[in-house]
Structure 1
Amino acid sequence: MENMKAIRRIRAMLVDIDYRVKEKFTQIILLMKGKGRMFRLYDRYEPYFYLDAQTERIHSLLAVVARDSTDSRKTARATRIEPVKKTLGGRERELLKVYCTYPYEVPILRSAFGKYPAYEHRILFTRRYLIDHELVPLKTAVLEVDSKRYVQKVISIEDEFIPFKTVSFDIETYNPMGAPRIDKDPVIMVSYAFDNEKDNESGMLTFRDCGKKSFVQVKKNEKEVIESFSGLIIGADLLVGYNSTLFDIPYLTDRSKAIGAHFYLGRDKKPPKVQKRGNRTKIRLTGRVHIDVYPILRFLSTIGAVKLSRYTLEEAYREIIGSQKLMVKRLAIHAMWDDDGERAKLAEYSRMDSTAVLEIFRKILPIEIEISRVTKTPLSDASISLAGQLVEFELMNASQEANVIIPNIPSAEEVAERTRNPIQGAYVKVPVPGVYDNIAVFDFRGLYPSIIISHNVDPYTRNCGCCGAGEVHVSPTGARFCKKQVGLVPKTLRRLIERRNKVKDAMKRALSLLGKETQFCQMAKSAVCLQSKHPETFGERENEEVALLAARNQVLKILNNSFYGYLAYPRSRWYSRECGESVTAWGRKYIQDTIAEAEKEGFNVLYGDTDSLFLLLGSKTEKDALDFMKKVNTGLPGTMELELEGFFPRGVFVSKKGAGEKGARKKYALISKEGKIKIRGFELVRRDWSAIAKQTQIAVLDAILKEGSKEKAVKLVQDTIKRLEDGKVPLDELVIYTQITKDPKRYEIMSPELSAAKKAIQRGVPLQKGSVIGFVITRNGKSISEKAEPIEFAKDYDPGYYVDHQIVPSVLKILEELNVTEDELKGKGKQKNLGDFFF
């Protein structure tokens, strides 16, 4: 009775999870968010794995005391072993479930029991807990807990999200040598921005006067600045930075050691901990969560949710928020700090960095919330996960629900073997280069996911044995898949697609109530930037609801479209070459069959690629095209469906370099009836093309597609060339950005980017593998590499280079389809009338 009185109910949201080893058990630590601050709950949880061994072996296995091969002081012993029924390889089997006390014992026991096949012995302990329990990160739970805050029972899980108290931050360092030196160069400014309910509170800590700025707190010295920042964030739940994992936090940590400052970011007042997740790095704080926006944007850019050619804070802010933030030259920071007149501007710049990070974070938070919820992944891990990992997390959760053994991580030898022979890709019918009118574009809705579901493609439905010769799905490669028992992969994928359809319906209903139905298509494509350009669209509550729905839709889309890639990924737990080959083979079959059917119906097929089909209407009508689509759909299996993307009045398709009469894959531009230009494969989002080349290219496409004017397009190019030759183009429009893919010191061939990188390093700019170097081709030097100068140090530019290697190449392939030559672009040839070529 006394124990019952100690039980109480609480309502809180799971934010993060960790564990610690106690004297006789392993304690799970659950970081929860209530209506006030964060707090901890606890649980007891036993590590375990599975052995494929006979029940008779239980007694002898329990007697084994194993020692760690690398540390003889560590021993391990199974606390209990029980026989269980699990599905393994598509069939139900009896396995042994081996329990122990501590997570580190699992690999020791697995090694000691090495003669028996083992399963689920390499699953992160905290993920194992989430797989086995009802709790879902960033969903609110009603729980029963005892007086020591141990969870006794989960009463319910609800979708309610409890808002965080968030603070963003950024640091500036003294840098007379370009790169700051930990032993010599101080942290001169620490800026911050709090996300309050009513308004933002931003400020900056420093130790020199900054012109009486109201947001500036001037401390005695660097040590006091760092320690004041640690105390400043005491009430925050989330600490958000930009590249803070690799720069800000490590520099603050190391600099604090150098000057004897007490630096901490967690509620335990201890330094941050660095953890590795594969090739990703994570900063763990006690009592709050650190989020780095930088890797999130890289991931979102990779999957197409945002479009960034560079990952600087300035570019991200411009693209996502739609505004320009205050800029200063990085290498001038130390000089601005030493200049009493310039220090105030540096303070404004520093503060704006923090507010910019916070604004960007607000836009991407909904999608991070939904990644956490859908895949049962803590926010700190969701922010550094890749698409394949999210698929793996979802399949792990589904395996537990279905009582299926999770496949093991492949060995290095298995990965190497899988990598040797790549899987044949999609079918492509390349276009004949040219400018075309009246194009109908169709695509198969989720082609690869549809194939997986419709044909039950799964590593464990192959050669099932339960279906007769004529009762199986036979792929074009000859692989056979069961028709009777649905595999885990297609079952999970179907469930996700059904969830997404429900979310899309909910979005439509919400928008309908608000009278904003026309915005559905835009919102369904991206949850990011949703409110940046139309902040007046909804009220605050509706804003949050619709943004979360749009984010959930985007996350489910990411997952659905990533299943095929995960099946074919050599490091995947669910890798299957036969599955990967079958999916692409069926894909080639369906697109080729559809092309043949279109030609049979009298359409001229312009282009086909993977899951898309471009038809020239010619004398056909739009109704004829829609009737063709309906006819194709009547013959498709399962969930497969051909959809109309749209009718486009005009499009331009260019040739591939050295391909002669053949067109390039995924390199075209179309204009819709509404006047919007859709561009694929051109230089607009490439880093290694200057801004002026990109601007010229889009202007040329605009002139051709919107106005049908070759003359205007040619004049645009000629005017740009003249501006270049007259020296009237600003240097910032001429910067070429290239990512350094190797250690700059190990490059053997002297390329322009390497030359610029070496010059930057010599001047103290920190560059390494993965860094992006921005450079301008100047007049100083003989070769292009010699002329490459980092943008920070460039004084002039070589107009001949930009004409011959940037402007002309960016537009020539387009204008060649109108019989325009390079000489004509340079003002040396005679132009013909557009009507001779266009209509």
Structure 2
Amino acid sequence: MPNTEPVQNGFLLSRHSHDRKHDRKHDRKHDRTGGQAEIILWVVTDTGPVRLVVEGERPVCFVVTSHIEALKAEFTKAFPGVESRPLPLKNFHHEPVTALYCKGVGQSFQMHDFLRSRGVELLEADVRLADRYLMERFVYGGLAFTGDRVQKSGYQECRNVKIRPTEFKPNFKVISLDIECSERGELYSIGLSGQGYGQGYGQVIMVGDQEPVDWIQWVADEKALLESFEETMKILDPDIVIGWNVINFDFRLLLKRAERHGMRLRLGRGQQPASWRNRRGETDQGFITIPGRMVIDGIEALKAATYQFDSFSLEFVAQTLLGRGKATEDVDNRMAIINHDFRHNKEKLARYNLEDCRLVEEIFEHTNILDYLRLRSQLTGLELDRMGGSVQAFTNLYMPRLHRAGYVAPNLPEDGGLASPGGYVMDSIPGLYRNVIVLDFKSLYPSIIRTFKIDPLGLVEGLKAPEGTIPGFRGALFSRDQHFLPDIISSLWVQRDEAKKQKDAARSQALKIIMNSFYGVLGSGGCRFYDTRLASSITMRGHEIMQQTARWIEEQGYQVIYGDTDSTFVLLSETYSDDEARATGKKLEQMINDRWTAKLEKDFQLASDLELEFETCYQRFLMPTIRGADTGSKKRYAGIKATSSGQELVFKGLETVRSDWTALAKYFQTELFSLVFADQSPETLVRETVEKTLAGEWDDKLVYRKRLRRNLKDYVKNVPPQVRAARKADEMNQSLGKTLKYQRKGWVQYVMTVNGPEPLEYRTSPIDYQHYIDKQLKPVADGVLPFINLDFNTLIDEQMGLF
């Protein structure tokens, strides 16, 4: 018998909607549109997983009332089961709309096709039923629920569900997964580890018949491996499975191999089968669905949290974050080693397999990435595995508020969205300076949205009743009191300040990314709320603020040498001490903030949320010229500043921080700028660097590492050096019977030789040292030497004559 229990808290793991199958033959005979819709929500609670089944919710979309009235007879005949209900809502053109409620998801798709074929525009037809159900109840992550419960195998099922939002921090059960296989995809082993299982769980399921090892489960063949994996997942019952490229490699291959054996891989709760769906237009990229569980790929999760690495290989990220890497002595020949170990040393391969699982676990722990994803979900309603999703996050937050204000949301712009002006970038004044301070506006674009009430609803209402509105740009007018986005940002802003006080880095980062994404959303043709007047009113107001700020600073007798989006670079007197420079920075900060407060009150009768901060004092600073020109560069500079741990050399946009330059260029730039900033001659460094390069002493620093952004065969007209090197490498791999490594994107390492680019692993020609002098050392030197009256070619002429 079902059991109704008190309110219980949980965390939303996944959501899905579908049409319930017909229960009776009579239904199937008389209704060809499918069954009624139901929503499935999987929830993590303190007492285990719960499957919430929500019934009675109907897919809905909106049409302009006059449009559906013109088709009423034809529409009613075609869809007698669809409820047509005029509502006190209107579109952004102030036309009244009618809601169309369908019985099921299948019927809604049929209705959409019918109306679109007759030229009727449907509003909000693309909103998924489960998403609408949650957002209209303001449920983001945490929820409280009640209902009638029945115990199932491994979980509870709850019907007659009612939910409301709440705060809840789940204790996820997490398993890290990694597979080993042959180059043909034959499975050798599946590794699993997790720290949330007693003293920590670690096991490898491996094909073979060896001496017993307590952490290895031996199985007879590949099918037995998959069957054992199913059983292990049932026993461990994880909420989340993590891994490295775990969706598009590990799980995609697992499902393919299961299909070869006529198996549906039953990895979900209640032994429901996992399923795969390809991304649109992709054959090797897709989505994995495991009922009751979530799969999170470490690479995509770190990217979502704005982590950046030269490479997202597990080896590179682990070495960077943890200081250790994969358990193999030869990463480049890993496939050959795996094959050898599977035949001759299975226990070694099993250790390697398990170590990869544990590396991923440690990376997740080190970065607190699951905390970040959980917090992001609680703030925006995005699923844990949804990477990117800024537009959906905005929609989740904004749309239910819009409905309560009496409007339905528009559709995506048909033209894909017109470009809006970018951030302000001032023409720089090149030079080598002492005492340059940087003044930053704290979250400039969010603060502009707050101050000037920039908002989709505010624009619609402002244009409807222009009197007393706040002027924007490109004809925009914003209501002073009817808006939502400024208040949403204010709430997030307060939460971020609190998170920073509590040193909650994950929460602070999540809030920062969400707030800063709102401008991009409003300027994106992929967002239903896009309007060029919205985005332009943010960026062009930013231009105005930056230019006025520079004028006020220069009125005080200081020179502004550069400005970029929200940062202003100010040159002070060379005679200032570090303390005097910092005091001047704080004085300018206060003056600018006071002036904006007064100006916005006088000109617009608005309270200012703009906040300028003194951010940095560079004791020495270089603003280079554009290569081959006398004009100053943009978004490229270098400086040295004092920190609590000593002096720090900072590079922005220069070779040292770019992944496509060699280690030689990065070493040379760091050493060269350190000498110049210390007022020491760099002549000896320049000559010795060229000499050692020509002598072959630094061959290990000459390797280029570049990304192949397309499949190798797709490079036809423009064939850059990395592609030529990759093709040579795979030609050799093919001739040697090895796996082709570079056919589908990826990274390639190569050197420039007298016969052009050659892959590092198959170089046969002498290195072209002159290339590295001309293309790596000279550009770096030319960026700074002219400012101290030196010339690279003059300095190295003597060395060049010796070789």
Same structural fold, with TM-score higher than 0.5 when normalized by the shorter chain: yes
Range moving further from structure 2, 37-46 or 690-699: 690-699
> Once the two structures are superposed, what CA deviation does each residue of 1:407-430 show, in whole Å capped at 9, x if it has no partner?
21333xx21xx35xx333333223
Range moving further from structure 2, 157-166 or 207-216: 207-216
Shift, 1:28, TM fit = 1.0
Shift, 1:379, TM fit = 1.5
Please, what TM-score do these two structures have when normalized by structure 1?
Answer: 0.81
Q: State the match for 2:672 in structure 1.
A: 700
Q: State the match for 2:740 in structure 1.
A: 765
Q: Is the 8 A contact 2:428 2:623 kept in 1?
A: yes
Shift, 1:229, TM fit = 2.4
Matches of 1:265 and 1:685 in 2, distance apart? 43
Shift, 1:27, TM fit = 1.4
Q: State the match for 2:519 in structure 1.
A: 564
Q: State the match for 1:200 in structure 2.
A: 200
Q: State the match for 1:774 in structure 2.
A: 748
Counterpart amino acid of 1:129?
Y
Shift, 1:821, TM fit = 2.6
Shift, 1:202, TM fit = 2.3
Q: State the match for 2:724 in structure 1.
A: 755
Shift, 1:252, TM fit = 2.0
Compared with structure 1, are the counterparts of its residues 492 and 281 closer, same or farther at alpha carbon in structure 2 (3 Å cutoff)?
farther
Counting only pairs closer than 5 Å after superposition, residues 331-730 of structure 1 correspond to structure 2 as 331-338=333-340, 345-362=348-365, 363=367, 364-380=369-385, 382=386, 384-400=387-403, 402-411=405-414, 414-415=415-416, 418-419=417-418, 422-462=419-459, 464=462, 471-475=468-472, 477=473, 479-487=475-483, 491-508=484-501, 510=502, 520=503, 546=504, 550-618=505-573, 621-622=580-581, 623-636=583-596, 637=600, 638-674=608-644, 675-705=647-677, 708-711=678-681, 715-716=684-685, 718-729=687-698
Counterpart amino acid of 1:239?
V
Q: Is the 8 A contact 2:620 2:641 kept in 1?
A: yes
Matches of 2:621 and 2:213 in 1, distance apart? 54
Compared with structure 1, are the counterparts of its residues 423 and 55 closer, same or farther at alpha carbon in structure 2 (3 Å cutoff)?
closer
Matches of 1:825 and 1:225 in 2, distance apart? 66
Counterpart amino acid of 1:51?
V
> Once the two structures are superposed, what CA deviation does each residue of 1:697-723 show, in whole Å capped at 9, x if it has no partner?
334344444xx0543x55555555444
Matches of 1:349 and 1:824 in 2, distance apart? 54
Q: State the match for 2:146 in structure 1.
A: 143
Aligned residue for 2:309, secondary structure, equals coil
Shift, 1:272, TM fit = 2.6
Q: State the match for 2:296 in structure 1.
A: 291
Counterpart amino acid of 1:309?
D
Compared with structure 1, are the counterparts of its residues 734 and 720 closer, same or farther at alpha carbon in structure 2 (3 Å cutoff)?
farther
- Of 150, 159, 169, the residue aligned with 2:167 is 159
Counting only pairs closer than 5 Å after superposition, residues 53-68 of structure 1 correspond to structure 2 as 53=65, 57=69, 60=72, 64-66=76-78
Structure 1: give runs of 5+ residues left out of the alignment: 67-75, 175-179, 511-519, 521-545, 831-839
Q: Is the 8 A contact 1:778 1:794 kept in 2?
A: no
> Once the two structures are superposed, what CA deviation does each residue of 1:767-819 show, in whole Å capped at 9, x if it has no partner?
356x232222154x52x2xx321547779754443343234434541344333
Matches of 2:797 and 2:227 in 1, distance apart? 64
Aligned residue for 1:81, secondary structure, equals strand
Matches of 1:728 and 1:353 in 2, distance apart? 35
- Whether 2:230 is the aligned partner of 1:230: answer yes
Matches of 2:410 and 2:440 in 1, distance apart? 34
Matches of 2:446 and 2:789 in 1, distance apart? 42
Shift, 1:375, TM fit = 1.0
- Of 97, 101, 111, the residue aligned with 2:103 is 101
Shift, 1:468, TM fit = 5.4
Q: Is the 8 A contact 2:616 2:641 kept in 1?
A: no
Q: Is the 8 A contact 1:62 1:80 kept in 2?
A: no
Shift, 1:29, TM fit = 0.9
Matches of 1:36 and 1:147 in 2, distance apart? 14
Aligned residue for 2:784, secondary structure, equals helix
Matches of 1:217 and 1:714 in 2, distance apart? 64
Matches of 1:155 and 1:392 in 2, distance apart? 20
Aligned length: 746
Q: State the match for 2:251 in structure 1.
A: 249
Compared with structure 1, are the counterparts of its residues 115 and 624 closer, same or farther at alpha carbon in structure 2 (3 Å cutoff)?
same
Q: State the match for 2:603 in structure 1.
A: none
Aligned residue for 1:563, secondary structure, equals helix
Q: Is the 8 A contact 2:463 2:477 kept in 1?
A: no
Matches of 2:192 and 2:765 in 1, distance apart? 35
Shift, 1:42, TM fit = 0.7
Matches of 1:812 and 1:552 in 2, distance apart? 43
Matches of 1:173 and 1:802 in 2, distance apart? 40
Q: State the match for 2:82 in structure 1.
A: 79
Aligned residue for 1:700, secondary structure, equals helix
Q: Is the 8 A contact 2:463 2:476 kept in 1?
A: no
Counterpart amino acid of 2:310?
S
Q: State the match for 2:126 in structure 1.
A: 122
Q: Is the 8 A contact 2:54 2:161 kept in 1?
A: no
Matches of 1:721 and 1:347 in 2, distance apart? 47
Structure 2: give runs of 5+ residues left out of the alignment: 23-34, 152-156, 601-607, 734-738
C-alpha RMSD of the superposition: 3.4
Counterpart amino acid of 1:355?
R
Q: State the match for 1:187 in structure 2.
A: 187
Shift, 1:562, TM fit = 1.7
Compared with structure 1, are the counterparts of its residues 805 and 192 closer, same or farther at alpha carbon in structure 2 (3 Å cutoff)?
farther
Matches of 1:59 and 1:599 in 2, distance apart? 66
Matches of 2:147 and 2:669 in 1, distance apart? 63
Please, what TM-score do these two structures have when normalized by structure 2?
Answer: 0.84
Matches of 1:459 and 1:223 in 2, distance apart? 55
Matches of 1:456 and 1:825 in 2, distance apart? 58
Q: Is the 8 A contact 1:632 1:642 kept in 2?
A: yes
Aligned residue for 2:311, secondary structure, equals coil
Shift, 1:393, TM fit = 3.3
- Whether 2:314 is the aligned partner of 1:316: answer no
Matches of 1:292 and 1:673 in 2, distance apart? 36
Q: State the match for 2:287 in structure 1.
A: 282
Counterpart amino acid of 1:680?
K
Counterpart amino acid of 1:130?
L
Shift, 1:401, TM fit = 5.0
Shift, 1:210, TM fit = 8.9
Identical counterparts, % of pairs: 22
Q: Is the 8 A contact 1:500 1:553 kept in 2?
A: no
Shift, 1:167, TM fit = 0.9
Matches of 2:50 and 2:448 in 1, distance apart? 46
Matches of 2:199 and 2:763 in 1, distance apart? 40
Q: State the match for 1:737 in structure 2.
A: 706
Compared with structure 1, are the counterparts of its residues 505 and 297 closer, same or farther at alpha carbon in structure 2 (3 Å cutoff)?
closer
